[in-house]
Structure 1
Amino acid sequence: MSSSRVRGAILRQQQGSERLIAWVELAVVVTFLLLYSLTPKTFVAPDLAFNLDSSLPSQLLLAVGNEPVPWALGLYFLVAIGGLFQAYSERLLSWRSYSAIVLNFTLLYGLIWSFHMQYQQPPAFYLKAPTLLYVFIFIAIRALRFEARYVLFAGFCAVVGWMLMVLYVLYTDDGEMPLTRDYVNYLTSNSVLLGAEFDKMIVMVLVTSILALAITRARGLLVEAVVETKIANDLARFVPAEVARQVSLDAPELEFGAGKVGEATILFTDIEGFTSLSEKTDPEHLIQRLNRYFSVLSGPIVDWGGTINQFQGDAVLASFNMPISNQQHAVNAIHAALKIQALLRDHDPDFVTRIGINTGKVVGGLVGTSERLSYTVHGDAVNMAARLEQLNKEYGTCILISEECRVQAGDVFAFREVGEVMIRGRSKITRLYTVDA
């Protein structure tokens, strides 16, 4: 498995995560706006009438000074919208992620800082703001990137930012330090209890450390999951998709040496006159035509619930009801055969294909060695379908259907009996049918 492919898959996951982070940040800002709009206001609204003696900037500064929270929320909202557009329109770059973390915490702490101005209280007032809890949301959402470095950086910004917020409180008011050791006084006044502020920062460190450790372990699981998904997708190119899915789920019936027995309808196709055609066509052009031919065949088979088991030269072996459950397997196999003939007449009339269809017991499973396996079906029903394909030459038909398949299909089609034949290895005569394409 190419490491570049794994990195590419993880990068796509991270791009989706970055978009999710942007939506979460926008949701947080909208929550702030809703909470602010519902909260009773205690500030005195400024007189916004323009004073001819004052400049417009000074009047705006006055308005911001009296009502800083709505301005901070408005700025925060614009930044969140910008981050959302950036997440959808630009490549994922590390420096942008780091810048977004710094900007988010700057705006969040700026919003908290503005509370003491908004509510006309000393700076220590904002240290008790419950808005601080959103810090842990901003740390946690960085875990969506599955990279511990972003979580650690977010935690670092949270701790440093809150430390600066505490220092601002301690060294304002003409150098007086509003400290207390009384917890009740701390809760009922604008004093500062350093132990409480240290507890907040310690919790930030612990939450960051735990998340970073969890992300480090989870990233290993993410890489394993991406690798297994890639392997399953690559495997689906060589074996049926259902088999690849079961292999990825470690299904016991698909273990080496095991198999599943059941009834299935087998469809076998072969190109008429392929040997002479290959002699007249250069190999490169022949391969291109064969690939187009197989593409035409595979469409109806898959659409009607069948599974292509093998490409054998110019022949195709497909099964219905094995390994994918298909209750109308006989009917669907005949529908697929009729569609194949119709498509070939339209797309490549030079390729005339003969089809044999039979219903019976088969065994399906992985065959080969423990180092190299492929999925296929085996049994007398498979041999019979191959024999019917060859008998088309004798009866001048394009589709031959066994009596077992005709009985299983019921009266869905207008079957026409074309003859009876004694198949080698069978003790009774087999009736043969066809349907007009």
Structure 2
Amino acid sequence: MKHNIGEFLFGRAPESSLPERVSDAITRQQRDSEQLIGWVQLLLVTIFGTLYAVAPKTAMSDGFHPVPWALALYFLFTFTRLALSYRILLPAPVLTLSVVADISLLMVLIWSFHIQYMQPASFYLKAPTMMYVFIFIALRTLRFDPRYILLAGATAAIGWLVLVLYVLWSEGGHSMITRNYVTYLTSNSILIGAEIDKIISIVMVSGVLAIAVLRAQRSFKRAVSEEIAAQDLSRFVSREVADRITHSEHQIRPGDGEAVNATVMFTDIEGFSTVSETLSPTELAHMLNDYFGATSAVIEKFGGVITQFQGDAMLITFNAVKPDANHGQNAINTALEIQRLCETTTFCHGGKLKTRCGINTGDIIVGAIGSENRLTFTVHGDTVNIAARLEPLNKQFGTYILATEATLAHCGNSASSNTRWSQRGDVTVRGRSQPTPIFSTDYREYGGVFAPNLSGVTTS
């Protein structure tokens, strides 16, 4: 019951222990907020000082005038704190002292009015400057920390109580107490109920703002945590898949998916086992990182999405999770440029890596498979299976790119004569009873400019 009431008032609490990077992100936001608070307070004291300077002066004492000094002191204090906020992260004791000083200086300023204008102490209780108390309390909400709101509210309530008690204590204070509201408004008389209302208002406003900010703070922490989690997720799966997962209108369940017409490409490094034997695990990891970094740039260039890594192999989709009307052509362009990249690039530790590609186009299912507690977002279907079987067939034909007739048909007449395809016959891939017409090609360079295109199908 206690937990439910607390969650109802303050919102659902975030994880008890936030990651350090989440805490750092929140700290940076609060530092920016403290700078914003400083600028707003500097603006307020400037406005107040300007209004005081240009306002017509009524009869005042001929001696010491405390208001200009109080304003100058507060301006200096605010400016110093603002400058410090740009140089260091203000520690909690400094912030606490700052909040107390803000309210205290305002109270001293209000208190000084009866001296400035040679009036009884009760004179300052009607000063409209008291409204600045609520502005100062509201400013603390910018930091997203309810502790400082409550501190500002408590300091203001105590400060105003002290001012009221000073009036009652001062000479003639008790004799000026009235119960008549009209008399209170038209004279220097004191209405105790009105002053209690002000204190209650300060306390209530501070409490409401603190609750609102605590709810917002908890939501903010959860949002930062979820944003960082989404960023981390996009490092393990493609950005498009991560966006689909994090922005789904409902929780993704096993079997959720949609049918699309897409092109699928499987890649694998030729002779990777042999390469692995000659390198230490650390060297092998560096080489793979170098290879995947280079090929990922090519894949992204042509609009492909790496849906899955398996060791040195990749499952790449076009038009599966990201719209692509020319997915067949872009898949072929990707395969051709990967061949050029592998032919011309020496990867980490002096290695040359050749890549075999299998490409197929057709209807696939894009979605989640697995159990309730463990899901994989991937693509599946007969089209995917054929592409997976084509990739190792390159070894049989001595080729590096094999594509189906369906992929070439999807490209239509968008090709020119730079790339020729060789028919490799009808192949019955493992796991299927129906034969599949397949074709092979290779990349070409003209004057150092890579321009892969299709010219239809020719047989070799």
Q: Using structure 2 for the length normalisation, give the TM-score.
A: 0.79
Residue 253 of structure 1: how far off its partner (Å): 8.2
Aligned partners of 2:370 and 2:376 also within 8 Å: yes
- 2:56 pairs with 1:41: yes
Alpha-carbon distance between aligned partners in 2 of 1:266 and 1:88, rounded to the nearest angstrom: 52
Aligned in 2, Cα 1:171/1:371: closer, same or farther, shift over 3 Å? same
Alpha-carbon distance between aligned partners in 2 of 1:343 and 1:46, rounded to the nearest angstrom: 87
Aligned in 2, Cα 1:123/1:4: closer, same or farther, shift over 3 Å? same
Aligned partners of 1:321 and 1:329 also within 8 Å: yes
Q: 1:362 aligns with which of 361, 364, 384?
A: 364
Alpha-carbon distance between aligned partners in 1 of 2:396 and 2:117, rounded to the nearest angstrom: 98
Aligned partners of 1:6 and 1:223 also within 8 Å: no
The Cα offsets for residues 27-84 of structure 1, whole Å up to 9 and x where unpaired, read as 243134235435523157999xxxxxxxxxxxxxx6xx33x44443343333333333
The Cα offsets for residues 183-236 of structure 1, whole Å up to 9 and x where unpaired, read as 222222233222111100011111222233334444444444344344434433
The Cα offsets for residues 296-339 of structure 1, whole Å up to 9 and x where unpaired, read as 22233234433212212211111122223334433443444455
Aligned partners of 2:59 and 2:117 also within 8 Å: no
SS at match of 2:364: strand
Alpha-carbon distance between aligned partners in 2 of 1:333 and 1:120, rounded to the nearest angstrom: 87
Question: Aligned residue for 1:386?
Answer: 388
Q: 1:416 aligns with which of 420, 426, 433?
A: 420
Calculate percent identity across the aligned residue pairs.
41
Alpha-carbon distance between aligned partners in 2 of 1:140 and 1:72, rounded to the nearest angstrom: 22
Give the count of matched residue pairs.
420
Aligned partners of 2:356 and 2:400 also within 8 Å: yes
Aligned in 2, Cα 1:294/1:149: closer, same or farther, shift over 3 Å? same
Aligned in 2, Cα 1:421/1:111: closer, same or farther, shift over 3 Å? farther
Residue 363 of structure 1: how far off its partner (Å): 0.9
Aligned partners of 1:6 and 1:226 also within 8 Å: no
Aligned in 2, Cα 1:427/1:276: closer, same or farther, shift over 3 Å? closer
Query: What letter is aligned with 1:41?
Result: P
Aligned partners of 1:136 and 1:204 also within 8 Å: yes
Aligned partners of 1:42 and 1:119 also within 8 Å: no
The Cα offsets for residues 249-290 of structure 1, whole Å up to 9 and x where unpaired, read as 444483212212102222221112212222222333223322
Residue 110 of structure 1: how far off its partner (Å): 2.8
Aligned partners of 1:399 and 1:435 also within 8 Å: no
Query: What letter is aligned with 1:42?
Result: K
Question: Aligned residue for 1:278?
Answer: 276
Aligned in 2, Cα 1:275/1:397: closer, same or farther, shift over 3 Å? same
Aligned in 2, Cα 1:260/1:8: closer, same or farther, shift over 3 Å? same
Alpha-carbon distance between aligned partners in 2 of 1:358 and 1:258, rounded to the nearest angstrom: 23
Give the alignment of 1:139-178 within 5 angstroms: 139-173=137-171, 178=176
Question: Aligned residue for 1:323?
Answer: 321
Alpha-carbon distance between aligned partners in 2 of 1:286 and 1:113, rounded to the nearest angstrom: 75
Moved more, 147-156 or 8-17: 8-17
Aligned partners of 2:266 and 2:359 also within 8 Å: yes
Unaligned runs of 5+ in 1: 48-61
- 2:243 pairs with 1:245: yes
Aligned in 2, Cα 1:98/1:356: closer, same or farther, shift over 3 Å? same
Aligned in 2, Cα 1:98/1:35: closer, same or farther, shift over 3 Å? closer
The Cα offsets for residues 391-426 of structure 1, whole Å up to 9 and x where unpaired, read as 444565544444433444452663322224213144
Query: What letter is aligned with 2:425?
Result: V
